[in-house]
Structure 1
Amino acid sequence: MIKSRLNSLSDNKILIALLLGAPFTEQNYERIGIPYLKHKFNVVVLDCNTWLRSGFSELKFSEYDYPYLIKISSAKEFIDVISQIKPNYAIDFLGLGRYTRFIQETLKIYGVKFVVQKTGALPAPSKKNRIIQGLIKNPKNLIFQLMNKLVMSRKENRPLPPDISLLAGAKTRDYWTNQSKNILWIASRDYYSYKKVNSESKNNNLLALGDYILFIDDAITVASDIKLLGISPAMKPEDYYNLLLQAFNNIEKLVGLPVVIAAHPSTKSLNQYESFFGDRNVYFGITPELCCHSSLVLSHISTALSYAILWDKPIIILTSKELDRSSWGVEMREWNIQLNCPLLFMEASQKQYTDAYQKSKNIDKNKYKLYINNYIKTDEVVEEEPWEEFSRFIQKNNYF
């Protein structure tokens, strides 16, 4: 029955299965590369959320209509689907977990090449800092993480070397990806959005907005990822947004410019989301364009800070006393170190706001350049379009 759903696919194209562990929204349809891959390959999506994400049933989102979406609800069903469709490649969008070894072994039985992609990596605190901060701020979560690592460290659970690793930035070459049979250097998804907007920026109608401060929202208390991964929000949403609005008022008064919001895509179906920001303008789906024309960028730990770095924008990382006690707080401090940009507690005095703003103007371009090499693209990247290097490698080497 599953195989009959794929009858309309071309017989002479390589079949690629995308292993998905996030809601299949229109944005994720784009982010996992289907618009690019489908021109050269047959592409099916194996939606593994029901199987692997405990909080998935609680999510509300608009599912993208794609004819080759197959939903997987169990390990047995995964085996059944792979045995029927026998793709040439499986590209992992699940991330490393307890299930990785099982998935790899299943794919190996049916001759499927396993492809790891790391195109949205974030700065991570050192292991020592994570353990120290975890012991102080969230020992229960630290114990859970250590137990998970212990389970995965057993020989029978260790992930196998990937057949191909697609790596965006030097820091994505870690112990696991370094064992790959083939390493292909690519650029991050955000880099291609940056390139596109950069080439069109003079004609962009956002110029009509005038000068503004941009807040890139990572929906730190209401994002779907919180339910999907079964984790607790760092703060109560009402406390967080009250504090955030206070911070916006202080910054607007200091700088003399309005704050506009680059909305987090997972909040599109969230009732009254826009009202969380008072009467400020909230925009969906145009974060790179908003970054391009902004005067100052505020955020917590969003991957979209890549745009601010690529455009050499001043950045202030916002935190709070309560956020600082959470695992997010450790990551915010790491951004502060990596970029040498100010870390501003939202409860701070007006003088501390002034100091942070003044410091943000002194952009550490060497730090920005290092960030680009580590997390966006290295000098080894030769592709001009997304998935170009992967497609070229497959076709050149007949690697299937």
Structure 2
Amino acid sequence: MIKRVVFVPQGKFTRRDYQRFGIELLRGNGFSVEIWDMTSFLYPEFATASAASNILDRSELIAFSDKKAACNRLSGLSESDFVIMLVPYMYESLWIYKALSKSSAAYAAYCANALPIFKDGVDGTAMKILHYLNTKPMALVKHLVMRLPFLFVGVKPVNLILAGGNKCLQYNYPTGRNTEILWVHSLDYDIYLQEKDKPDEKRNIAVFIDEFLPLHHEYSMFGIEPPIEAGKYYALLARFFDLVEKETGHEVVIAECPEANYEELPDYFKRRKRLKGQTANLVKQSKLVLGHYSTALSFANLFRKPVIFMTCADFYGKFEYYQIPEMAKWFGKKPVFIDSEDNIDWKFELTVSDEHYDRYRKAYIKTDDSQDLFFWQVVANKIKNWGTADGLLSRK
């Protein structure tokens, strides 16, 4: 019988994560819950640079500073524990998976918030990869190690995949013949369930789904150079928002990124309204959505709102340049270059393709057969029966 649920997050666990990952709901279902923070080992620079204001500070959060102690705790987990791995299966986290594999605890891999990923966008991809591997030998070592069979490196197969749409199983996890897929939905669908039956107040607004794009902490966390300088990016946005308001008559409102801290920055949005924690409600009330490739665009899909996907020439050769068209394709659109005001078909941009929206919903948000329950209630119902005839029997 499962008594304790242990989350292993990829980075610092925030107050928002506390809500998104259903800590109170799991407690209400009779489980004790702990969060084991390994950021000091996975991303040491980010661990020391993280802003404390948004980080969870509760007794259930255990931040490890000693790797040996972390390994001992992981390998000492019992059959009454169930682990939710939010950390991807990668070279840097291999030691976590190996330590966990020495325990008798079952574990799940979280795959529910997937996005469409471009397949072969970068020109000369193979040559660039070869150059990268030749100039950084350690990258080649990591690549080869992660291609080894997981059992060979001492990792047991994951027991349960927590899945969203039917295209979400695109990540590499150590799965075996006894691995089961639990079809749930994306976490944003939980918010949709809370919003969909509320009174429908329409407003003459266009909502920009902010991603804190050049300033997001994940750039430094993963050692990636931002695709554009912040001042230039926000100047392009402001000019394009002026154009949107002129052409459509819709006031542009900013659905602020949960990770953003604009209070400490210049007035990048030129006094436009910024609202944090209200993205779903704003999209529901809106007539148009503006964005790049955020998972929050699922709200535009669920509430059937037209989307303008925005890109710019500065993104060329960067991840964003190829990812945005891939996302737009699933909505039946092509990106608009916001550094050029030419050739924008405003009538087309204000349309919705039901065929594309239905396909995206099934692929990346929710399958037709999954339950209309909150995500972590579905998970709780599953692990309550763990080890019984109605639950999962795998104990590798």
* TM-score band w.r.t. shorter chain: 0.7 to 0.9
The number of aligned residues is: 379
Matched AA of 2:148: R
Report the alpha carbon displacement of residue 307 of structure 1 after superposing the two structures with TM. 0.2
Relative distance call for 1:199 and 1:363 in structure 2 (3 A) is: same
The alignment's C-alpha RMSD in Å is 2.8
Give the conservation status (yes or no) of the 8 Å contact 2:205–2:288: yes
Structure 1 partner of 2:205: 212
Please show how residues 153-302 of structure 1 align to structure 2 within 5 Å. 153-155=147-149, 156-157=152-153, 160-174=156-170, 176=173, 179=176, 181-202=179-200, 210-268=203-261, 271-272=264-265, 275-302=267-294
Give the conservation status (yes or no) of the 8 Å contact 2:88–2:173: no
Please show how residues 309-320 of structure 1 align to structure 2 within 5 Å. 309-320=301-312
Please show how residues 36-185 of structure 1 align to structure 2 within 5 Å. 36-40=25-29, 41-56=31-46, 57-62=48-53, 63-83=55-75, 86=78, 88-126=81-119, 128-129=120-121, 132=124, 147=140, 148-155=142-149, 156-157=152-153, 160-174=156-170, 176=173, 179=176, 181-185=179-183
How high is the sequence identity, in percent, across the aligned residues? 24
Report the alpha carbon displacement of residue 270 of structure 1 after superposing the two structures with TM. 5.6
- Distance in 1, matches of 2:125 and 2:208, equals 27
1:26-81: CA deviations, max 9, x gaps? 11111222122121211000011111014312221422232111112353131133
Give the conservation status (yes or no) of the 8 Å contact 1:18–1:91: yes
- Distance in 2, matches of 1:243 and 1:302, equals 19
Give the conservation status (yes or no) of the 8 Å contact 2:26–2:377: no
- Distance in 1, matches of 2:129 and 2:90, equals 24
- List runs of 5+ in structure 2 lacking aligned partners: none
- Distance in 2, matches of 1:195 and 1:163, equals 28
- Distance in 1, matches of 2:131 and 2:309, equals 25
- List runs of 5+ in structure 1 lacking aligned partners: 1-11
Give the conservation status (yes or no) of the 8 Å contact 1:138–1:326: no
Relative distance call for 1:142 and 1:102 in structure 2 (3 A) is: same
Question: Scaled by the length of structure 2, what TM-score is found?
Answer: 0.87
Please show how residues 247-396 of structure 1 align to structure 2 within 5 Å. 247-268=240-261, 271-272=264-265, 275-349=267-341, 351-353=342-344, 355=345, 357-396=346-385
- Distance in 2, matches of 1:290 and 1:112, equals 42
Structure 2 partner of 1:16: 5
- Distance in 2, matches of 1:139 and 1:17, equals 40
- Distance in 2, matches of 1:166 and 1:289, equals 26
Name the one with the larger helix percent: 1
Residue 304 of structure 2 aligns to a residue whose secondary structure is: coil
1:91-149: CA deviations, max 9, x gaps? 011223114443222122221112101121111112x3357468689975998797343
Matched AA of 1:192: D
Residue 315 of structure 2 aligns to a residue whose secondary structure is: helix
Question: Scaled by the length of structure 1, what TM-score is found?
Answer: 0.86
Residue 313 of structure 1 aligns to a residue whose secondary structure is: coil
Matched AA of 1:23: K
Residue 198 of structure 2 aligns to a residue whose secondary structure is: helix
